[in-house]
Structure 1
Amino acid sequence: MTDDFDDDLLVALTEARGVPGYEDRVRALVREELEPRVDRIRSDAMGNLVGSVGSGEYDVVVAAHMDEIGFMVRHVDDDGFLELDALGGWDPRILRAQRVTVHTDDGDVPGLIGSAPPHTLSEEEREKQPDVDDVHVDLGLDAEAVSERVSVGDLVTVDQTTERVGEFVTGKALDNRVSVFAMLEAAKRLENPDVTVHFAATTQEEVGLRGAEALGVDLDPDLVVALDTTVANDVPGFEPGEQVTRLGEGAGIKLKDGSVITNHKVHRRLRAVAEDGDIDHQFEVLPAGGTDTGGLQRTSGATPAGAISVPTRYLHTPTESVHVDDVDAVVDLLVAFLDSEDGSHDYTL
């Protein structure tokens, strides 16, 4: 990592737990980091946290969601096993043999998602497609002890530490804590903007862009720049056209995803800023999946919106991986874009 890369902060953000609607621990970390960097800070009833800097009449929202995919306990069976309801888009193939934490009113309880040994499985069972509804959490406790400690509505997150692997950072919840990290780093470097910049850490993105949609109504911005991770399928088994982005090739400038077609004047200015600043960048066309970009683009009327993405391998798994140079490029591009925004650019089409 570069000398000014605060890896301790990134580790703290990614290892904190915060599923949709319950981002409290993450929000506390963000508030602590953001408050000294802004003129004013507030949160709302959805849990969105907004730190604002500057006093210009033109409002720019920079948004990055805090929530991670996880689960809510929907049932505790007679044997003490927990049945789960997914919060966000899980691939059930990766859930077997994971360690988890159940977050209860009385504290965190360790657990695991087991996997039946292949010795006892029939051919039909081996070929069966996994489903989240089939997942059960084992707490290693008898049924009575489980019933005393766990309730329907308790939350469950996957356990994983954040580590350096070569030039990568890997761990859980890099989607989207790495973008929250990039936003906080940009807030440290932005000085005396000509416009009012609202740094927004949003909630419930993984279940439908809900925090961003509410925030767009409340703030009614003149311009939006969202930050999120994006697919990097630059691994064996994918053709070049299927890779979307590649790790180590710079910040992603979003052209579209499943929720948005970005304003082309915004993404062209992002490109021009990157070229002028010699900032590594690449273009992102994501076939499916939504981001806060879409949630903020149209909820309070037509709003020019663009997005900067962090290329990420193995999205929505506990081993999400990003390249440190790409993270630096995202911060550099965001700061350069905000520094050069004075409210005079015409983004109407």
Structure 2
Amino acid sequence: MAFDFDFDLLRDVTETSGVPGYEDRVRDIVREEIEANTDTVRTDAMGNVVGTVDGDSDYSVAVAAHMDEIGFMVKHITEEGFLKLDALGGWDARVLRAQRVTVHGEEDITGVFGSVPPHTLDEAPENGDDEVGDRAVDLGRDPEEVEELVSVGDIVTMQQDTIQMGDSVTGKALDDRVCLFAMLEAARSIENPDVTIHFCATVQEEVGLRGATALGVDVDPDLAIALDVTIASDIPGVSGDKHVTSLGDGAAIKLKDSSVITTPKVHKRLKAVAEDEEIEYQIEVLPSGGTDTAGFQNTYGAKPVGAISIPTRYLHTVTETANGDDVRSTIDLLTAFLDSETGEHDYSL
């Protein structure tokens, strides 16, 4: 099937590099898109981008999606020219074996995570003992050339294309670029809102919701809606009670994760909007993991918050996978919710 959204833009934002604190390249794309569809745009000292659409009232809504992807920083270069890395974000080191990376040194160069061939192992590997610090990147170059091209502190990102796979899209950094994309698509559609809307592309979410927490002070919204991916473990070997969400069942309306319990009246209105507009949705109860929702809830005093999630399989790998219809549903739900926000809904408890 052909996706009912701008797949080229989604591919651009997912394939572009941008780890926590170094979101520069993806930020350039985001800022250009936001500038075209909002009244004013600014970037703060941390690198958060805020595009504002002025409404007819002083009531304001912040919509947030994070730009950063998990990645690495070079911490050591061995005498043989191999790179040792420090993680930026949460990695399961087992998924790194035999993967390609891009090292952003004096120039962008390709490397690979090496692994010992099974033919030479004296005993079966202990898969549970892997740590990122134990992995090494091979650049295929002699040590002298490596020293010229790479320095301690350089950034390393995973190397992967974003492609269509059946009814789904798969690639790296769908967390959270697919939601960032959904926000950008909603910004294209919002023209004359009743309330002021701040479209916020945040930084450093993967290392502790840092960008949203700082931004909550500056923006100080009356209502905040965050967008992030969520677990879809609807795959062989995982029992139904651990699926959280399922691909193809629609946008996920979050009730909780480990960082936030969303405001009941907000998630009830999200459900009502979805039903009125006949938008497919499902309910998300996430046992662990945090999102930018929490960064806005209590940074500058108590705030009503909600969250819309895109179900995604294989999170924090280079084969993250989301369903095209779920992406469309998320764009439609966010747009309909913002279009119908008057600033007069009572979200108080």
2:347 aligned with 1:330: no
TM-score w.r.t. structure 2 length? 0.98
- Check conservation: 2:169, 2:322, Cα contact below 8 A: yes
For residues 254-293 of structure 1, what are the alpha-carbon distances to aligned partners after superposition, in whole Å with 9 as ceiling and x for unaligned?
A: 0001110000110000001001111000000110010000
* Residues 33, 127 of structure 1: alpha-carbon distance in 2 compared, 3 angstrom cutoff: closer
2:80 aligned with 1:79: yes
* Residues 323, 129 of structure 1: alpha-carbon distance in 2 compared, 3 angstrom cutoff: same
Q: Which amino acid aligns with 2:6?
A: D
The aligned residue for residue 96 of structure 2 is: 95
* Residues 300, 116 of structure 1: alpha-carbon distance in 2 compared, 3 angstrom cutoff: same
Q: Which amino acid aligns with 1:159?
A: Q
Query: Could you tell me how far 1:3 is from its partner in structure 2?
Result: 6.4
Q: Which amino acid aligns with 1:80?
A: G
| 3-state DSSP of counterpart to 2:129 | coil
| 3-state DSSP of counterpart to 1:310 | strand
Q: Which amino acid aligns with 2:143?
A: A
Distance in 1 (alpha carbons) for counterparts of 2:295 and 2:280: 27
TM-score w.r.t. structure 1 length? 0.98
For residues 190-236 of structure 1, what are the alpha-carbon distances to aligned partners after superposition, in whole Å with 9 as ceiling and x for unaligned?
A: 12000000000000000000000000011111000000000000001
The aligned residue for residue 120 of structure 1 is: 120
Q: Which amino acid aligns with 1:78?
A: E
2:37 aligned with 1:37: yes
* Residues 302, 126 of structure 1: alpha-carbon distance in 2 compared, 3 angstrom cutoff: closer
- Check conservation: 2:66, 2:180, Cα contact below 8 A: yes
Distance in 1 (alpha carbons) for counterparts of 2:18 and 2:35: 20
| 3-state DSSP of counterpart to 1:37 | coil
The aligned residue for residue 318 of structure 2 is: 318
Distance in 2 (alpha carbons) for counterparts of 1:221 and 1:156: 35
| 3-state DSSP of counterpart to 1:164 | strand
Query: Could you tell me how far 1:125 is from its partner in structure 2?
Result: 4.1
Identity among equivalent pairs (%):
64
The aligned residue for residue 60 of structure 1 is: 61
| 3-state DSSP of counterpart to 2:169 | strand
Distance in 2 (alpha carbons) for counterparts of 1:147 and 1:28: 29
Q: Please show how residues 259-278 of structure 1 align to structure 2 within 5 Å.
A: 259-278=259-278
Q: CA RMSD in A?
A: 1.1
| 3-state DSSP of counterpart to 1:225 | strand
Query: Could you tell me how far 1:4 is from its partner in structure 2?
Result: 4.5
The aligned residue for residue 140 of structure 2 is: 140
Distance in 2 (alpha carbons) for counterparts of 1:68 and 1:193: 31
The aligned residue for residue 214 of structure 1 is: 214
Query: Could you tell me how far 1:237 is from its partner in structure 2?
Result: 1.0
Task: Return structure 1 stretches of 4+ with deviation > 6 angstroms.
Answer: none
Q: Which amino acid aligns with 2:243?
A: Q
* Residues 187, 2 of structure 1: alpha-carbon distance in 2 compared, 3 angstrom cutoff: farther
Query: Could you tell me how far 1:52 is from its partner in structure 2?
Result: 0.2
Query: Could you tell me how far 1:346 is from its partner in structure 2?
Result: 1.1
Distance in 1 (alpha carbons) for counterparts of 2:124 and 2:335: 55
Distance in 2 (alpha carbons) for counterparts of 1:127 and 1:344: 54
Query: Could you tell me how far 1:142 is from its partner in structure 2?
Result: 1.2
Distance in 2 (alpha carbons) for counterparts of 1:177 and 1:128: 29
Distance in 2 (alpha carbons) for counterparts of 1:86 and 1:128: 17
| 3-state DSSP of counterpart to 1:34 | helix
Distance in 2 (alpha carbons) for counterparts of 1:69 and 1:229: 14
Distance in 2 (alpha carbons) for counterparts of 1:125 and 1:61: 48
Query: Could you tell me how far 1:2 is from its partner in structure 2?
Result: 5.8
Query: Could you tell me how far 1:26 is from its partner in structure 2?
Result: 0.5
Q: Please show how residues 174-189 of structure 1 align to structure 2 within 5 Å.
A: 174-189=174-189
Q: Which amino acid aligns with 2:60?
A: D
Structure 1's unaligned 5+ residue stretches are none
- Check conservation: 2:3, 2:324, Cα contact below 8 A: no
Distance in 2 (alpha carbons) for counterparts of 1:276 and 1:27: 35
